[in-house]
Amino acid sequence: MTPSKTQGPTAERERAAAGFAGRPDTAAGPVEITVNGKRRTMADAATIGDLLRELDLDHRMIVVEHNGQILRHDVSAPAHVLHMGDVVELVHFVGGG
């Protein structure tokens, strides 16, 4: 299990903005996380894969950043377990110049 420490200034900012600053991890029960800047409650021991399924994004070409760590778009990403206060960014390509 990896500790749910945020990494990098942006993740810290988002964590603070979402009201997680200073909140300790809890051993069990629902976990509150931030997904694309918005708070979300997940079941205990929920994974990135569970989150993607809930959002109906599990078949989409997206990149996941979990607490500042970029997860390669492969089989390992969905297995990552979510912890209280985690910051997740779900990213894709849009039109641009």
Partner 1 sequence: MVTAVTSLAELSASGAPLTIAGREFRSRLMVGTGKYASTALMRDAIAASGAEVVTVAVRRVDLDRSNDESILAHLDTSRYFLLANTAGCYSVADACRYARIARAAGFNEWVKLEVIADEATLLPDPVGVVEATRALAAEGFQVLAYTNDDLITALRLEDAGAAGVMPLASPIGSGLGLLNPYAIRTIKHRLSVPVIVDAGVGTASDACVTMEQGVDGVLMNTGIAAAQDPVRMATAMRHAVDAGREAFLAGRMPRREVAVPSSPRAGMLG
Residues that bind partner 1 (CB under 8 A): 8-10, 35-38, 55-57, 60-63, 65, 70-73, 89-97
Residue with smaller CB distance to partner 1, 2 or 10: 10
SS (H, E, C) 3-70: CCCCCHHHHHHHHHHCCCCCCCCCCCCCEEEEECCEEEEECCCCEHHHHHHHCCCCCCCCEEEECCEE
Residue with smaller CB distance to partner 1, 23 or 73: 73
CB 89 within 8 Å of CB 36: yes
Residue with smaller CB distance to partner 1, 23 or 60: 60
CB 44 within 8 Å of CB 78: no
To partner 1, the closest distance from the beta carbon of 50 in angstroms equals: 15
To partner 1, the closest distance from the beta carbon of 62 in angstroms equals: 6
To partner 1, the closest distance from the beta carbon of 23 in angstroms equals: 22
